[in-house]
Structure 1
């Protein structure tokens, strides 16, 4: 289980406390506060704090644009306008702080999103738990023959069992050696900051991750996409469920324009105009590469 009894008791105690406040609160987010949403085999995402709501976005926009927003009839319409025209600063008025438990190799992908504040569990000061991400059999896939970053067919039978045995065995063996190297129980062992180098990339770490809504949407657009690696996508999916309860109007606009929409290059737009005019367009006549054409066709199919 992702949570120990002590951690669950701490969460229950935090949720049992309540304080009066004059700041904006969102019932949907209040229900999420401190709760752990389980992800993968030992991971979780939980909301520690948040600031702002849908009205904070429109409030900031009206301060910034004044008379320019008078044609917009309501807050939802204004939010859709801001999303449609790629405005960013109004969405930066909302922030969220998450506690995330995740495998190290997922964390190294995640940290590429540098527009956030991060404080990670330190293996220099503390000893990491014996917890590793071991994929379910249905997520064991071979390398894609089309996409250098993607997965191909799922491994079956003996091959899947062989890979799982190696993953489990290597993980446990590495942790055994990690423990044996540590300076504890009176022996002259290795410093924690050095012993940690022996741990595999599937060991779990934790961090607090604070980000504004604009940059969170950018993260979700990339990581909740069907082409993202499964192990980070499930975290993004869990966060999506939180965000839609936090800023429902903004999330609906994000889903419509970013997740459900498509962006075309100049060549793509030219090809689309010709298709609408009844002309036959091929990859060769479009001027696109094979990869561009494949992505263009995928966008049209939805």
Structure 2
């Protein structure tokens, strides 16, 4: 269960306590506020607060006094122009604060994005819950033979069952020892900050993560990509659904120019021009390495 009855009651109370405001409000994001969106087996993402909307991006770009200075169609055109030409500052005027529950190994990958404000649950002061990420059988995969960072074919049969049993038994045993080490009944007990070092990387942690829209888009471009690790990608995809409702015009531009777009090098553009002029271009005549040529071919393939 991602949420306890007490947590759900708190969420229900928060959503029932509406207050008037003079600040910019995104109706799309309002429906997401406080609600926990389940991710993996015990994780979730929920929006705690936000600042700004599509109009705030345009207002910042024009440094105007308020809303209504341009038509909605012009606003969308401006947002697409800003995205297309990598003018990032107006997007930084919007911010989102999330409460995320995630496995520690996903958190360590996530924190590589050093452009957010983070406050994590402290295992120095509190005791971590007995909750571990155990993958579904179809998410157990062998090492890729072509990508050192990726997965290959899924494990099957006896091998998959053996791996799952090891994951479950190792997690349970390490938590049993964790509890015993910090016990205070009849023994002195080890400090929590030391006892936690025995816990595996698939135990769940939680944090508040606040980020501006420009850096959020950068995170989503990398982590919602099909090549991203599954366990972080499902979090990114859940956040995408929120952002799509929060800033729909900005998200459409992001989908078009970042998620669905491609960046071409000067060599690649030169090759494309030569091809359009009827010239037969090969990897040997392209000036690209084999890896670059392979990626270029993937972009232009019909």
- TM-score, length-normalised on structure 2? 0.95
CA distance 1:288–1:207, change in 2 (3 Å): same
1:301 corresponding residue in structure 2: 301
Is residue 38 from structure 1 mapped to residue 38 from structure 2 by the alignment?
Answer: yes
Q: How does 1:52-63 map onto structure 2 within 5 Å?
A: 52-63=52-63
1:166 aligned to 2:162?
no
Map of 1:286 onto structure 2: 286
For residues 175 and 115 of structure 2, what CA distance do their matches in structure 1 show? 33
Q: Over the residues paired in the alignment, what is the CA RMSD in angstroms?
A: 1.6
- The equivalent of 2:276 in structure 1 is 276
Q: What is the rounded CA distance, in whole Å, between the counterparts of 2:38 and 2:104 in structure 1?
A: 17
Long gaps (5+) in structure 1:
none
Task: Give, in whole Å, the separation in 2 of the partners of 1:247 and 1:109.
Answer: 26
- How many residues get paired? 297
Cα distance in 1 for partners of 2:252, 2:61 equals: 18
Alignment map for 1:60-99 (pairs within 5 Å): 60-63=60-63, 74-99=74-99
Q: Note if contact 1:183-1:192 (Cα within 8 Å) is conserved in structure 2.
A: no
Moved over 6 A (4+): none
**Match of residue 198 from structure 2:** 198
Q: How does 1:1-302 map to 2 (within 5 A)?
A: 1-63=1-63, 74-301=74-301
Contact persistence 1:100–1:209 (CA under 8 A): yes
Give the CA deviation at 1:186.
4.2
Q: Distance in 1 between matches of 2:159 and 2:300?
A: 37
The DSSP-based 3-state class of the residue aligned with 2:126 is: coil
d(CA) in 2 for partners of 1:18, 1:135: 38
TM-score by length of 1: 0.95
| 1:77-128 deviation per Cα after TM superposition (whole angstroms, max 9, x unaligned) | 0000000000011000000000000000000010010010000000000000
Question: Does the 8 Å CA contact 1:120/1:205 hold for their aligned counterparts?
Answer: yes
Q: Which stretch has the larger CA shift, 204-213 or 275-284?
A: 275-284
Does structure 2 conserve the Cα–Cα contact (< 8 Å) formed by 1:33 and 1:46? yes
- Aligned residues of 1:183 and 1:191 also touching (Cα < 8 A): no
